Amino acid sequence: MNPPGSLRELDVERHLADPGLRQAYVTPMFDLIAPRYDSFTRVFSFGMDRRWKATLVAMAGGAIPRDGTVADVATGTGDLAFALNNARPDLDITATDVSARMLALARGRGEREPAKRVTVSAGDISALPFAAASLDAVTAGYALRNTPDWRASIAELARVIRPGGHLFTLDFYLPPSPAWRATFLGWLSVSGNAVGWWWHREPMAYGYIARSIAHFTTAGDFSATLERSGFTVAATRLRLSGGIALHHAIRR
């Protein structure tokens, strides 16, 4: 018998397909995996996640103006926010998330590194707690793919970033090659289900990744959506033949 609140009680495809239901799946999933999230991302990516995030931090650190105001949305355990502040201690960074357990871990990181200028607070990427045109930059690691409506969330990011401000994103995408797409999603599904069962007795805890990518888009279409939403795409860096991409966009 499944425990109360088990992900297996929820229809993942139905929740991913319906923007009104998606958050009801995503938030408890991230609450479940929070304690082992950082370990999972390192192991599951064979260490590449660390390099991808270091690249994103280097891109952001080289572009954000001095004493800038930054939000790291869907911050998870806060690793991007604290890494950016290590690289740029002049920045004021607010790290936001909707998962209470992720926020607790991010706050714990802040207690271990109390000198950092990072504030951790609740915040939904679909309706951010920032005034219009108030941020110099936003960073978002594995964020847009998990929102109820990623296009609407891009519009929300455009609202809070000032003209000339920056958006830096890292995420999984649908590879453009059909053959590689099938292989990529197949591997993520099988391995994610296995690790989810092994660590949490919930296959969809990580099997969700492949399902969420299947409901997402390609890196190229993501760039086009940024352009339509008031951004100019300054740089796109593809990894794993388009299965991973980093974007740097500037608010027009």
Check residue 142 and give left, alpha or beta (phi > 0: left; psi -120 to 50: alpha).
Answer: left
Report the range out of 3-7, 30-34, 38-42, 93-97 with the highest average pLDDT: 93-97
Q: What is the mean pLDDT of the chain?
A: 92
Per the CB < 8 A criterion, the answer to whether 232 and 252 are in contact is: yes
Tokens read off for 116: 């950092």
pLDDT digits (tens, 9 = 90+) for 87-105: 999 999 999 999 999 999 9
Pairing of strands 118-122, 231-239: unpaired
Question: Domain coordinates of the chain in residue numbers?
Answer: 7-174+216-251
**198, burial (CB in 10 Å: exposed 0-12, middle 13-18, buried 19+):** exposed
pLDDT number for residue 1: 32
Is the pLDDT assigned to residue 2 strictly greater than 70? no
Encode pLDDT of 191-242 as tens digits: 988 888 888 888 877 889 999 999 999 999 999 999 999 999 999 999 999 9
pTM over 0.85: yes
Closest alpha carbon to 74 in 117, 23, 39: 23
Lookup: tokens for 60: 């952001």
All residues at 6 or more sequence positions from 228 whose CB lies less than 8 Å from its CB, including other chains: none
Q: What are the strands, taking DSSP E only, across 43-112?
A: 69-73, 92-97
The reported pLDDT for the residue numbered 6 is 63
Q: What is the pLDDT of residue 115?
A: 66
Of residues 22 and 70, more confidently modeled: 70
- Specify the pLDDT at position 102: 94
| Residue 27 and residue 98 in contact, taking contact as beta carbons nearer than 8 Å | yes
**CATH superfamily of the domain spanning 7-174+216-251:** Vaccinia Virus protein VP39 (3.40.50.150)
Q: Which two tokens stand for residue 21?
A: 């239901």
pLDDT higher than 80, residue 52:
yes
181 vs 162: CA distance, rounded Å: 36
Q: Predicted confidence band at 24 (pLDDT cuts at 50, 70, 90)?
A: confident
pLDDT of 4: 37
